[in-house]
């Protein structure tokens, strides 16, 4: 009996930590199981992260032979280094794993449950409900569709989000007028914030803008509005200077400018085409109906107004709750269920919380600032995007927590009912997420692993292998990763890698025999003098029986077919008909 009472007392005294541990365990169970099957396969970016991390761990160089780079060239998209080096350390600890880079993301996604919960607890201390609010934040981070999907794929943004949460926690970001901040915590905050800038592009801009904006607004509130509730300016300066100095090599490196040129919304062809269309319509309409008003077209459509209108429209889309609660990310690979990134039931709490924060703007202006600034990196790059908007998640969660605080203060029973409903929504999401991703494996390039492993025996036997360009994105990196190709050997095999018009690049071949382009199958098959052992990897409709067919998970789609030249020639009747048809076709073409 005494031991039982002691156990109850222990649980009561440590209820917060025990509940947080249970929520974290739930989050881990939603992130780690079936990581190789849901989503069904790693995309090319995930595979590239894994192979480059292994290459760094084994040789100290990336796939391009660059030694310990601070910008990873990868496919020409110039990725920040944080996720690569974190995965390299994981590789040194646990060795090669089929989903090695996804493990990095899953670990980060689990840890951010703890850090995010502790940040919310600091934000609301010393209020009595601080523990309850922190646990609810932890639950949202554990079970939300947004965080689950980011954690089940190898996405740099998830690790950057963990670092960013740590920075917010140590800086006690969110509420003005906090107790004195220690220099050690400010330095820790600056280090974590700088780490986030080296992990994902959007955090570079957010951190710099956020703390510069915080410095400016604090000055305005203190000197113009005579508010006594402000941050200590010296600590803002400390974080801004340290994080900026540490981030400078990455911020002004070639990777940032290259990536910006590839994603900056006003410079995209689609944006230019759209506004040229509007401009032409304006001139045609006013020419026919109101010629004196033609100067208005020049006023509205010019080099200055066009970018402002494009960015303004994009920012308004990002500010809308549509992304968070209704439709989510428009990309299937980033949002397989086509639902909101957070559960719809949280929408009323967002409205209530937003109202409360805005009415208390002098106290919570840092949160308002963070909420608005964190939208900018994604808004300047195009449509709403779950990875670019990951930096917005802490501020979105904080606003929802203010709404939950209102609900909890009015009725504990309603708060409990909300927890129950969230688990109902979670069950619905898990079922839809699992079936949507697994059944549509082709959208996640689920055939990449099987394809890479299928052609490897032919590669070892020095077959000439022709792979059609449209079979899979970045076939070279799938081949290297899934066949565990020695990075030193890969460096020797990598062929010419020209850049396309957008700055992306990939090898045209590996060695002399693995060629990433379509072959003239008709010519090679029908030429008896051509005797080189050859494998055709294609999705073309062929008369011949393939040696292997690769299908999607439902077995409904034929994605890739492998044809061995010697086996094709053994099918004599088909070969005769095939070559005769090819000969007649060539004669017809020549006659025309």
Mean pLDDT by runs of 10 across the 592 residues of the chain is 69 85 97 92 92 96 92 86 96 94 97 97 88 96 96 94 96 70 87 94 90 86 59 79 81 54 54 66 77 75 71 87 92 87 96 95 90 92 89 97 95 94 96 86 80 94 91 90 94 84 82 90 90 92 88 83 92 87 53 44
479: in domain? yes
Same-domain pairing of 120 and 199: yes
Same-domain pairing of 324 and 180: yes
Going by the DSSP 8-state scheme, the letter that residue 559 receives in this structure is E
CB within 8 Å of 102: residues ≥ 6 apart: 35, 36, 42, 46, 152, 153, 154
Domain finish residue from 423, 439, 455: 439
**What pLDDT sits at residue 337?**
87
**What pLDDT sits at residue 586?**
53
Continuous segment of H or E residues that includes residue 563? strand 558-564
73: in domain? no
Please say whether the beta carbons of 264 and 380 come within 8 A: yes
Same-domain pairing of 566 and 428: no
* Residue 71 C-alpha from the chain's centroid: 17
Same-domain pairing of 23 and 142: yes
**What pLDDT sits at residue 469?**
83
**Could you tell me whether strands 548-551 and 558-564 are parallel, antiparallel, or unpaired per DSSP bridges?**
antiparallel
What does the H/E/C string look like for 504-551? Answer: CECCCEECCCEECCCCCHHHHHHCCCCCCCEEEEECCCCCCCCCEEEE
Same-domain pairing of 422 and 544: no
Can you state the angle between helices 183-197 and 233-251, rounded to 10 degrees?
A: 30
Does residue 272 sit in helix, strand or coil?
A: helix
Distance CA 322, CA 385 (A): 12
Does residue 467 sit in helix, strand or coil?
A: strand
Same-domain pairing of 311 and 328: yes
**What pLDDT sits at residue 332?**
82
81: in domain? no
**What pLDDT sits at residue 227?**
54
Domain finish residue from 378, 405, 439: 439
**What pLDDT sits at residue 463?**
95
65: in domain? no
Same-domain pairing of 130 and 145: yes
Distance CA 537, CA 563 (A): 7
pTM here?
0.90
287: in domain? no
Same-domain pairing of 224 and 368: yes
Distance CA 71, CA 251 (A): 10
Same-domain pairing of 327 and 401: yes
61: in domain? no
Evaluate the CA torsion angle 82, 84, 88, 90 in order and state its sign. positive
Does residue 499 sit in helix, strand or coil?
A: strand
Sheet containing 514-515: order of strands: 509-510, 514-515, 464-467, 534-538, 558-564, 548-551
116: in domain? yes
Largest CA distance in the chain: 101
Domain finish residue from 439, 456, 473: 439
Beta-bridge partners for 564: 535
Same-domain pairing of 482 and 398: no
50-62: b or e for each residue (b if 16 or more CB lie within 10 Å)?
Answer: bbbbbbbbeeebb
Same-domain pairing of 343 and 421: yes
Q: How many domains does the chain have?
A: 2
Same-domain pairing of 161 and 218: yes
CB within 8 Å of 180: residues ≥ 6 apart: 232
> Which residue range is the domain that position 463 belongs to?
444-591
58: in domain? no
């Amino acid at each position: 009996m005494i031991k039982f009472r002691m156990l109850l007392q222990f649980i009561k005294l440590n209820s917060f930590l025990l509940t947080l541990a249970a929520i974290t365990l739930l989050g881990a169970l939603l992130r780690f199981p079936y990581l190789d099957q849901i989503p069904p396969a790693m995309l090319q970016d995930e595979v590239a992260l894994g192979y480059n991390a292994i290459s760094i761990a084994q040789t100290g160089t990336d796939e391009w032979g660059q030694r310990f780079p601070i910008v990873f060239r990868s496919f020409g998209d110039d990725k920040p280094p944080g996720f690569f080096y974190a995965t390299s350390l994981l590789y040194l600890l646990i060795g090669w794993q089929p989903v090695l880079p996804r493990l990095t993301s899953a670990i980060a996604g689990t840890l951010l449950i703890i850090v995010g919960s502790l940040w919310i607890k600091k934000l609301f201390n010393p209020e009595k409900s601080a523990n309850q609010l922190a646990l609810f934040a932890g639950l949202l981070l554990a079970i939300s569709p947004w965080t689950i999907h980011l954690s089940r794929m190898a996405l740099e943004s998830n690790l950057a989000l963990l670092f960013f949460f740590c920075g917010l926690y140590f800086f006690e970001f969110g509420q003005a007028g906090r107790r004195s901040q220690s220099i050690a915590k400010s330095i820790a905050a600056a280090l974590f914030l700088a780490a986030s800038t080296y992990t994902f592009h959007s955090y570079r801009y957010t951190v710099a803008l956020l703390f510069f904006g915080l410095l400016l607004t604090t000055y305005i509130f203190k000197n113009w509005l005579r508010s006594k509730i402000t941050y200590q300016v010296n600590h803002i300066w400390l974080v801004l200077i340290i994080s900026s100095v540490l981030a400078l090599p990455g911020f002004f490196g070639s990777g940032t400018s290259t990536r910006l040129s590839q994603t900056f919304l006003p410079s995209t062809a689609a944006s230019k085409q759209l506004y040229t269309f509007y401009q032409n319509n304006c001139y045609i309409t006013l020419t026919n109906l109101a010629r004196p008003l033609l100067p208005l077209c020049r006023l509205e459509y010019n080099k200055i107004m066009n970018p402002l209108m494009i960015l303004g429209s994009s920012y308004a889309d990002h500010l809308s709750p549509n992304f968070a609660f209704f439709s989510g990310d428009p990309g299937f690979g980033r949002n397989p269920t086509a639902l909101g990134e957070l559960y719809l039931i949280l929408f009323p709490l967002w409205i209530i919380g937003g109202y409360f924060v805005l009415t208390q703007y002098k106290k919570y202006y840092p949160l308002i600032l963070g909420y608005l600034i964190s939208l900018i990196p994604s808004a300047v790059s195009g449509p709403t995007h779950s990875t670019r908007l990951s930096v917005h998640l802490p501020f979105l969660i904080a606003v929802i927590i203010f709404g939950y605080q209102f609900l909890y203060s009015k009725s504990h029973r309603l708060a409990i009912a909300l927890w129950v409903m969230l688990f109902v929504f979670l069950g619905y999401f898990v079922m839809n997420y699992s079936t949507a991703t697994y059944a549509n494996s082709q959208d996640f390039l689920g055939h990449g692993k099987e394809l890479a492993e299928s052609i490897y025996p032919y590669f070892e036997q020095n077959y000439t292998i022709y792979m059609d360009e449209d079979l899979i994105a970045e076939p070279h990196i799938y081949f290297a990763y899934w066949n565990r190709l020695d990075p030193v050997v890969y460096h020797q095999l990598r062929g010419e890698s020209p850049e396309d018009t957008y700055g992306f690049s990939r090898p045209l071949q590996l060695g002399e025999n693995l060629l990433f382009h379509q072959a003239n199958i008709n010519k090679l098959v029908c030429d008896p003098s051509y005797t080189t052992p050859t494998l055709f990897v294609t999705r073309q409709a062929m008369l011949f029986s393939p040696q292997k067919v690769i299908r999607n998970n439902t077995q409904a789609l034929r994605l890739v077919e492998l044809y061995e030249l010697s086996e094709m020639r053994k099918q004599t009747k088909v070969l005769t008909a095939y070559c005769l048809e090819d000969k007649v076709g060539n004669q017809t073409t020549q006659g025309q």
